[in-house]
Homo-oligomer: A and B are copies of this chain.
Amino acid sequence: MAGSTFGELFRVTNFGESHGPAVGCVIDGCPPGLELSESDIQPELDRRRPGTSRHVTQRNEPDAVEILSGVFEGRTTGAPIALLIRNTDQRSKDYGNLLDTFRPGHADYTYWHRYGIRDPRGGGRSSARLTAPAVAAGAVARKWLAERHGIRLSGHLSQLGEIPIAFESLEHVSRNPFFAANATDIPRLEAYMDDLRRAGDSCGARIEVAAHGVPVGWGEPLYDRLDADIAHAMMGINAVKGVEIGAGFASIAQRGSVHGDELTPQGFVTNHAGGVLGGISTGQDITVSIAIKPTSSIRTPRRSITRAGEATTVSTHGRHDPCVGIRATPIAEAMLALVLIDHALRWRAQCGDVRVDTPRIAARVDPTD
């Protein structure tokens, strides 16, 4: 199967290149009757868009979304929703000589060997710009999740390069250019980024995302588990190299007597599982952490080869994010929303009429854990 479609029942098919006429997506399978207009989607695109601070690429794209179909008199009809975002600030000449060489850490070499042709303008299909359609589709998903199930998504940057960022409060996230849940360390982060930019180098980042209010019972036992589909979604974001659910890699050194989240009539005691057991949601917060590698497009000269296989040196100029992780929080939230709505519909298909007497217990009672 061609790989540009995400989801089984809420299906998002992505198209476009960084410097082509447009990027966008088609959402197929959206439930009918959801109130929807461009104004529901645009704020999420604005969170992700470039040019909003000196710490991200200076490409200036309004990323204005147009709904082409699937909405009638302000409500979804159940028909495919096509979302179009025209590209307006392409400067393709910046990338003129890139056809003849392969940038280290980039997809240039792999695309070339796979396809025998590649669009080098702005990274073409491998550009982070292709996350915009996912963010747009995610906005539709999170609106439905909120209205239908009261689900809320959140995310924040928890590490920038070597610097861990203490969690203070989610309310800070929208008030700094880093999506940090922190007010104290912002000057330090800004200085760090300024140094990095001057050095012509880049750094990685860690993002935490969570979904609050997911009901118990979404997911599948094998293969298309809820956690497996989240891992697929997150590792499918450009530059992601690692994914954790709940305790993640820390669970290696945990004992079973610590890791297994106890249940009480008052609620779960801990949430090491990150809201998923046996591939199915527990009703606790779904918690995900991802590692994002440093941007590959840097000014520092690096060794590479030409298309003919000869040694060369590459130094990348142009407009690039020195840390792609900075803009990744809304992307990770969007991907999580897409996984959740897909499993909401899958759950409804197979199990929508299941009723049990057992009470659904609350999320963990001990928030200090």
What is the minimal beta-carbon distance from A247 to any residue of chain B, in angstroms?
6
Contact with B along A54-81 (1 / 0, CB 8 A): 0000000000001011101001111111
Whether A336 sits at the interface, judged by CB under 8 Å, is: no
B-side contacts of A318, CB under 8 Å: none
A21: interface (CB < 8 Å): yes
Measured in the bound complex, the distance between the Cα atoms of B90 and A211 in whole Å is: 39
Which of A44-52, A118-126, A167-175, A180-188 faces chain B? A118-126
Q: A78-B117, A220-B4 are in contact. Are A162 and B293 (CB under 8 A)?
A: no
Q: In the complex, which residues of chain B have a beta carbon less than 8 angstroms from the beta carbon of A24?
A: 68, 82
Given contacts A79-B17, A256-B300, are A220 and B2 in contact (CB under 8 A)? yes
Structural contact, A115 and B220, CB atoms closer than 8 A: no
A224 within 8 A of B: yes
Question: In residues 84-114 of chain A, which contact B (Cβ within 8 Å)?
Answer: 84, 102-107, 109-114
Instruction: Tell me whether B241 and A232 are in contact (CB under 8 A).
Output: no
From A29, A263, A283, A297, residue with most partner B Cβ within 10 Å: A263
Give chain B nearest CB distance to A350 CB in angstroms.
Answer: 6
A86 to B351, CA, bound (A): 29
Known contacts: A13-B13, A116-B33, A354-B116. The answer to whether A22 contacts B262 by CB under 8 A is no
Give the chain B neighbours of A329 by CB distance below 8 A: none
Q: Are B79 and A124 in contact (CB-based, < 8 A)?
A: yes
Q: Which residue of B lies closest to A305 (CB)?
A: B263
Closest-CB distance, A113 to chain B (whole angstroms): 4
The answer on a CB contact under 8 Å between A13 and B33 is: no
This protein's copies in its complex:
4
Which residues of A from 155 to 178 have beta carbons under 8 Å from B?
Answer: 159, 161-162
Given contacts A256-B294, A259-B293, A294-B255, contact A26 B26 (CB under 8 A): yes
Q: Restricting to A243-293, which residues have a CB under 8 Å from any CB of B?
A: 243-265, 269, 272-274, 276-283, 291-293
- Closest residue to A322 on the B side, CB-wise? B256
B280 contacts A107, CB within 8 Å?
yes
Interfacial residues of chain A within 117-158, with CB under 8 A of chain B in the complex: 117-119, 121, 124-126, 130, 148
Q: How far is the CA of A292 from the CA of B256 in the complex (A)?
A: 11
- A213 at the A/B interface (Cβ < 8 Å)? no
Query: Number of residues in A with C-beta < 8 Å to the partner?
Result: 168
- Out of B69, B224, B251, name the residue touching A294 (CB < 8 Å): B251
**Inter-chain contacts of A68 with B (CB < 8 A):** 15-16, 20-22, 24, 84
Give A109 to B273 CA distance when docked, in angstroms. Answer: 13
Is residue A43 within 8 Å, beta carbon to beta carbon, of the partner chain? no
- Interface residue A191 (Cβ < 8 Å from any Cβ of B): no
Q: Please list 15 pairs of residues, one from A and one from B, whose beta carbons are closer than 8 Å in the complex, sorted by A's number.
A: A1-B224, A4-B28, A20-B69, A22-B69, A31-B351, A32-B351, A76-B117, A79-B119, A107-B278, A114-B217, A114-B280, A161-B252, A229-B232, A259-B293, A349-B349
B-chain residues with CB within 8 Å of residue A78 when the two chains form the complex: 114-115, 117, 350-351
